[in-house]
Copies of this chain bind each other. A is one copy, B any other.
Amino acid sequence: MDKSTLIGTVTGVVLLGFSIMTGTGAGAFFNVPSLVIVLGGTIAATLIHFPLPDIMAMIKVTKKVISSEPVSAKQYIDKMVDISKKARTNGLLSIEEELNNIDQEFLKVSLQHVVNGTEPEDLNNIMEAELSLMTERHKIGQKIFTAMGNYAPAFGMIGTLIGLIKMLQNLDDPAAIGPGMAMAMVTTFYGALFANLFFIPMGGKLKQRSEEELQFKEMILMGVASVQAEESPRVIQNKLLAFLKPQERENGENAEQ
Contact = CB atoms under 8 A, between A and B. Distances in A.
| Copies of this chain in its oligomeric complex | 5
Interface string A139-157: 0000000010011001101
Contact of A158 (B133, B177, B189, B209): B189
Interface residues of A, number: 88
A222 interface: no
Interface of A is mostly: helix
A92 interface: no
Contact of A4 (B20, B25, B48, B177): B48
B5 A48 contact: yes
B158 A202 contact: no
A44 B178 contact: no
20 contacts: A2-B51, A8-B44, A11-B44, A15-B40, A18-B36, A19-B36, A19-B37, A25-B169, A29-B165, A45-B197, A48-B198, A50-B205, A51-B205, A51-B257, A52-B256, A53-B245, A133-B245, A154-B196, A164-B185, A166-B182
